[in-house]
Amino acid sequence: MQCPKERKITLIDGTLSEALAVKQCPDCKGTWIPAENYKSWQSKRSHPTTAATLIPKTLDVEFVQSPLDTKAALCPDCGSYLARTKVGMKSPFYVERCFSCGGIWCDRGEWDALETMGLHTAIEQLFSSEWQTLSRAREHLALEKQATIDRLGAELADRVFELAEALEKHPSGDFGVAYLMRRFENFTQELKSPD
Ligand SMILES: [Zn+2]
Ligand SMILES: [Zn+2]
């Protein structure tokens, strides 16, 4: 079997996470995970079975993307096009999968990154539109959170997050939100009309 990214290189036998038999490229360090090997490895582990329960431990890992990550490739097993899905936020990378045979391709370092994020046990879920939507919403929230910290400073931002969480959980939390908004409306009106 040849490397999907560099067709002249032949893949060699390897192992991931001590028990998952894979094919590795000795040159680009990419990894081909045959569908059957992945399924049997996955079945021996607790793994999320729906996209909604696949909650990443972290949205981002420090990660140097392989120069071959964005290169389009064909399945080394059956020759179909490999589909890709985006993972990670500030340092995004793409995991590839063959929809014909179900095999998975990870470029150099991607498996370890998936493992750090806690996503390696349910890679097929990363390709669902549900996960993509959830993932974008999480990214958006994380960016908004960071912007709040940048503007308010960590201490006040933390109090805002704490308050938001408390109001979210409280059955009449919307009264608190309405109070804050009214209060803020009056405040901005005063600023606009100094006399
Ligand atoms: Zn290679
Ligand atoms: Zn295939």
Please tell me the distance between residue 35's alpha carbon and the centre of ligand 1 in angstroms: 19
Written as tens digits, the pLDDT of the chain (195 aa) is: 999 999 999 999 999 988 999 999 999 999 999 999 999 999 998 888 888 888 888 877 888 889 999 899 999 999 999 999 999 877 889 999 999 999 999 999 999 999 999 999 999 999 999 989 998 888 888 889 999 999 999 999 999 999 999 999 999 999 999 999 998 887 777 777 665
Residue 195's pLDDT is what?
A: 58
Please tell me the distance between residue 33's alpha carbon and the centre of ligand 1 in angstroms: 14
Beta bridge partners of 21: 15
Rounded to an integer, what distance in angstroms lies between the CA atom of residue 105 and that of residue 100?
13
Please tell me the distance between residue 75's alpha carbon and the centre of ligand 2 in angstroms: 5
Please tell me the distance between residue 24's alpha carbon and the centre of ligand 1 in angstroms: 8
Question: What residues are neighbours of ligand 1 (ion), with CB under 5 Å?
Answer: 3, 5-6, 9, 25, 27-28, 30
Please tell me the distance between residue 97's alpha carbon and the centre of ligand 2 in angstroms: 8
The ligand whose atoms approach the alpha carbon of 102 most closely is: 2
Residue 153's pLDDT is what?
A: 96
> Which pTM value belongs to this model?
0.79
User: What is the torsion angle, in degrees rounded to the nearest 10, for the CA atoms of residue 15, residue 18, residue 19 and residue 22?
Assistant: -10
The ligand whose atoms approach the alpha carbon of 97 most closely is: 2
Q: What share of the chain is helix, strand, coil (3-state, %, to 5)?
A: 45, 15, 40
The ligand whose atoms approach the alpha carbon of 76 most closely is: 2
Q: Give me the DSSP letters along 152-170.
A: H-HHHHHHHHHHHHHHHHS
Please tell me the distance between residue 41's alpha carbon and the centre of ligand 1 in angstroms: 24
The ligand whose atoms approach the alpha carbon of 26 most closely is: 1
Measure Cα distances from 24 to 27, 118, 188 in Å.
9, 22, 61
Residue 115's pLDDT is what?
A: 93
Residue 5's pLDDT is what?
A: 96
Please tell me the distance between residue 164's alpha carbon and the centre of ligand 1 in angstroms: 48
Residue 154's pLDDT is what?
A: 95
Residue 65's pLDDT is what?
A: 86
Please tell me the distance between residue 121's alpha carbon and the centre of ligand 2 in angstroms: 20
Q: Is residue 126 within 8 Å of 96, Cβ to Cβ?
A: no
